[in-house]
Structure 1
Amino acid sequence: MSRAMKVAIVDDEADMRQSISQWLALSGFDTETYASAEEALKGIGADFAGVVVSDIKMPGMDGMAFLKRLMSMDSGLPVIMITGHGDVPMAVEAMRVGAYDFLEKPFNPDRMTELAKRATQARRLTLDSRALRKELADGSVLMKKLIGASPAMERLREDILDLGQADSHVLIDGETGTGKTLVAHALHAVGPRASKRFLTVSCAAWSEDQLAAKLFGPAEDGAIPLVEEARGGTLCLEDIEALPNPLQARLLTFINEQGTPPETRIIAICNEHAQDKTLEDILRSDLFYRLGAMTILCPPLRSRGEDILTLFTRMSEGFAEEYGCDAPQVTAQEAAQLLQAPWPGNVRQLVNIAERAVLQNRRGSGSIASLLMADNEATGPAMTTEGKPLKEYVESFEKMLIDNTMRRHKGSIVAVMDELCLPRRTLNEKMAKYGLQRQDYV
């Protein structure tokens, strides 16, 4: 298993607790045992990173009462109940209350392992989903994801903080792969609607009839129309350029009927339009002016200068940790190539390059230059960056090198001085010049 999850075993019989614990431990689980439900409740809380295996018949608080307490605390916690012969009706009742499954004594240990694996997989998905929802509701976390010190990224973060506080509808434009959906989440998360619903739908993913039903109803499955479900919060319309004309008219009517401030805020994302056309050419003009009163343009990666090296470093380090290997060391020539690349796929393309560079490094073959060349051949001719003075390339590489070395040595100034052969005063001056602070690495 990629991440060991706990299995809490609750049974008043010591032999049973021990045998289940030993068997599951041999199968790769991290087990902990409790002699009673009361004792287990002291160690199991909401968002418990694991699953529970519990006997039904126990003195004091029995398994059913224990299950009800767990379900009231965290209804997504998988609980596997163990029942004696003849107690199957009780086990069925436990399933109705919320148990994940049950085993009848004597049970096959392999069956226990199989159930535990399925339950931990379900638990992992639940916890990951909760973590994602929490992250997407945390404006500070989202803003930290918008990495970069370039003027373009500084402006973008300022725009998000300013427009996030407003109630007007927002139009987000920019090339593919520039992080428009992340910006939409951030706009919602830093504003007064952060505690309300944030719903997303792609206008390109459905037929006109299906999209109409999803947005305005009535839906065949009886689902609440998105314009109603998002009331008080934010409705994000991705691929707004694909919204059919009849639905543009209905959306405009909905917007006009809301008044000011709107009860439901619309954030529209444009993901693609021809270079010789603007979104104003594609949408009906009255809808464009309602949505585009406030506009955010996500900058292309090629305009972000040394952000490219910063992003590559962070991403390659993340993938290296995931794959259990070292991140590739970027040479001065490779740094220049990264800075000069056209990046038609923007940040999304950079993510792919970083992951492939880590995998290449793990195998001990290939180069970043070869990956960039292969990508350019696959995507065909693209826009190119303008040439920059040599001084800018040198400074970008120098900053990246000091940053990487500081991270590797966890802020040890002496170790960085030794590796880079720099006197302390020179290192301090360069760190001050590039805005690098030791406490960020400790």
Structure 2
Amino acid sequence: MAHAMKIAIVDDEKDMRQSIGQWLALSGYDTETFPNAEDALKGLGADYPGIVISDIKMPGMDGMQFLKRLMSVDSALPVIMITGHGDVPMAVEAMQVGAFDFLEKPFNPEKMNELAKRATNARRMTLDNRALRRELGDGSGIMRKLIGASPVMERLREDILDLGQADGHVLIEGETGTGKTLTAHALHAVGAKTGRKFVLYSCAGQDESTLANRLFGPSEAEVPLIEQARSGTLVLEDIEALPPALQARLLTWMNDQGSPAETRVIAISNLSEQGKTTEDALRPDLYYRLAAMKITLPPLRARGEDILTLFTRFAEQAAEDYGGDAPEVSAQEAAQLLQAPWPGNIRQLINVAERAAMQNRRGTGTISSLLMATEDDSDAGMTTEGKPLKEYVEAFERMLIDNTMRRHKGSIVAVMDELCLPRRTLNEKMAKYGLTRSDYLGA
């Protein structure tokens, strides 16, 4: 059935509990009943996967006390209160405390079903958003590629959470290879439109007529993009390539949607021309409409020791794909990885890590030689601004402990033996670098 959520029914009258439960079960809900509030509280935690329907007048703990207890556990839990004739003032008080809605006896079962539908939809969205926030925090799923402990990445994750929940359109800027499209996916995933359509289209390399037909129609071959993305998210890459006339049409369409917008627009700017900005390329009214919510992705060179963490992850994945062991990174190579300018950002780092894994399988070449080849290919200088030696040492040390912990699946004794460190020193260094043993168990 479409309804996968639970409904907890709390009422001291057995016949009432059973009749409500049977009706909702026939509508596809998973119901459970409780004769009193005290029993119900034992099974209703902060992330209860459903809603509550409760009588307001019960012996012992009454419905109002029960509601207040539930709100203290989870203020976003939808609770529908059942009231008797003439109890409207009490129902109003319940709404002020936090009840989702109320039903007055004798109530229409169809109305109860409609209320249950609205409440479970609201609950599902709340739980989905919580799960996505946890996902974003621990780096699993789609958010795995947003890993990094650097301050700029912490801010990026917070920006994605904040702007994802907002209603407005978004502009994403950043150098090539920094993860702009992934960020657009993440914004959609943590927002109210998650689960709805996500349509991605690049405006680059198309003539004006083709762009107009694809975006707005009429198109004999395909449904226009604004229709494909209706009620969801439309992501326009290379927004700076959109001709002025189509920028005006896009703005008109965005304005016609009203507020909040039915379809969210996420524009991605890939401007790399020296001295030119997205603001220069767009109509001022369109730019300011988009840039009211803007995310600028950090270049890899600004992410500090994230570079070593990412290199290790990509090299291990490549070694697994190609067969063989991941390359070990020396202190000198770690310093070179941290100093490299990375004009291609994450894409370039992935390329170097994959080539390093293939070299290691053959037993030839070094990471240093790959970085030199990258320098020759890009005509970029080998180093960025110098950093204190202490920063390089700490970054290398963290990488070494992280790699060893993962290789030994969190075995402290094995790590102590390999790195020749006493337990106290290892514990202090792990605390210093934000490493937790539980993260490696079973890895």
Name stretches of at least 5 consecutive residues in structure 1 with no aligned partner. 1-136
Letter in 1 for 2:419: L
- In the alignment, what sits opposite 1:122? none
User: Counterparts of 1:176 and 1:303 in 2: how far apart (Å)?
Assistant: 14
Please report how far the alpha carbon of residue 375 of structure 1 lies from its aligned counterpart in structure 2 after TM superposition: 0.7
- In the alignment, what sits opposite 1:435? 434
Please report how far the alpha carbon of residue 138 of structure 1 lies from its aligned counterpart in structure 2 after TM superposition: 6.3
User: Counterparts of 2:413 and 2:383 in 1: how far apart (Å)?
Assistant: 41
The answer on 1:396 being equivalent to 2:412 is no
Q: Is the 8 A contact 2:215 2:226 kept in 1?
A: yes
Map of 1:273-312 to 2, 5 A cutoff? Answer: 273-312=272-311
Q: Is the 8 A contact 1:143 1:157 kept in 2?
A: no
Q: Is the 8 A contact 1:273 1:279 kept in 2?
A: no
- In the alignment, what sits opposite 1:414? 413
User: Counterparts of 2:278 and 2:272 in 1: how far apart (Å)?
Assistant: 7
- In the alignment, what sits opposite 2:215? 215
- In the alignment, what sits opposite 1:150? 150
Shift of the 416–383 alpha-carbon distance from structure 1 to 2, 3 Å rule, reads closer
- In the alignment, what sits opposite 1:227? 226
Letter in 1 for 2:346: V
Tell me the TM-score normalized by structure 1: 0.68
The answer on 1:351 being equivalent to 2:350 is yes
User: Counterparts of 1:238 and 1:290 in 2: how far apart (Å)?
Assistant: 16
For the residue of structure 2 that corresponds to 1:277, the secondary structure is: coil
User: Counterparts of 1:383 and 1:220 in 2: how far apart (Å)?
Assistant: 51
Q: Deviations over 1:357-401 (max 9, x none)?
A: 000000001011110110111111359522111111000000000
Letter in 1 for 2:241: A
Map of 1:5-84 to 2, 5 A cutoff? Answer: none
Letter in 2 for 1:288: Y
For the residue of structure 1 that corresponds to 2:386, the secondary structure is: coil
Map of 1:39-438 to 2, 5 A cutoff? Answer: 140=135, 141-221=141-221, 223-381=222-380, 384-438=383-437
Structure 1 segments of 4+ aligned residues over 3 angstroms from their partners: none
Letter in 1 for 2:198: F
User: Counterparts of 1:232 and 1:383 in 2: how far apart (Å)?
Assistant: 47
For the residue of structure 2 that corresponds to 1:206, the secondary structure is: coil
Letter in 2 for 1:337: Q
Q: Is the 8 A contact 2:178 2:298 kept in 1?
A: yes
Q: Is the 8 A contact 1:171 1:269 kept in 2?
A: yes
Q: Is the 8 A contact 1:241 1:270 kept in 2?
A: yes
Please report how far the alpha carbon of residue 205 of structure 1 lies from its aligned counterpart in structure 2 after TM superposition: 3.8
Please report how far the alpha carbon of residue 402 of structure 1 lies from its aligned counterpart in structure 2 after TM superposition: 0.4
User: Counterparts of 2:169 and 2:272 in 1: how far apart (Å)?
Assistant: 20
Q: Deviations over 1:43-71 (max 9, x none)?
A: xxxxxxxxxxxxxxxxxxxxxxxxxxxxx
For the residue of structure 2 that corresponds to 1:321, the secondary structure is: helix
Letter in 1 for 2:190: V
Q: Deviations over 1:171-200 (max 9, x none)?
A: 000000000000000000001100210100
Please report how far the alpha carbon of residue 209 of structure 1 lies from its aligned counterpart in structure 2 after TM superposition: 1.3
Q: Is the 8 A contact 2:235 2:268 kept in 1?
A: yes
Tell me the TM-score normalized by structure 2: 0.67
User: Counterparts of 2:155 and 2:231 in 1: how far apart (Å)?
Assistant: 28
Q: Is the 8 A contact 1:344 1:383 kept in 2?
A: no
User: Counterparts of 1:206 and 1:245 in 2: how far apart (Å)?
Assistant: 14
- In the alignment, what sits opposite 1:37? none
For the residue of structure 2 that corresponds to 1:410, the secondary structure is: coil
User: Counterparts of 2:383 and 2:184 in 1: how far apart (Å)?
Assistant: 28
Please report how far the alpha carbon of residue 228 of structure 1 lies from its aligned counterpart in structure 2 after TM superposition: 1.5
Q: Is the 8 A contact 2:176 2:272 kept in 1?
A: no
Q: Deviations over 1:221-264 (max 9, x none)?
A: 1x221112211110000011111111111101111111111111
Deviating more after overlay: 142-151 vs 306-315: 142-151
User: Counterparts of 1:327 and 1:229 in 2: how far apart (Å)?
Assistant: 43
Q: Is the 8 A contact 1:216 1:227 kept in 2?
A: yes
For the residue of structure 2 that corresponds to 1:419, the secondary structure is: helix
Q: Deviations over 1:120-176 (max 9, x none)?
A: xxxxxxxxxxxxxxxxx9672223320100000000000000000001000000000
User: Counterparts of 2:272 and 2:226 in 1: how far apart (Å)?
Assistant: 25
Letter in 1 for 2:239: I
Q: Is the 8 A contact 1:341 1:385 kept in 2?
A: yes
For the residue of structure 2 that corresponds to 1:354, the secondary structure is: helix
Q: Is the 8 A contact 2:372 2:382 kept in 1?
A: no
- In the alignment, what sits opposite 2:39? none
Letter in 2 for 1:196: R
- In the alignment, what sits opposite 1:88? none
Q: Is the 8 A contact 2:375 2:382 kept in 1?
A: no
For the residue of structure 1 that corresponds to 2:350, the secondary structure is: helix
Percent of aligned positions that are identical: 72
User: Counterparts of 2:238 and 2:180 in 1: how far apart (Å)?
Assistant: 11
For the residue of structure 2 that corresponds to 1:268, the secondary structure is: strand
Q: Is the 8 A contact 1:241 1:273 kept in 2?
A: no
User: What number of residue pairs does the alignment pair up?
Assistant: 306
Letter in 1 for 2:428: E
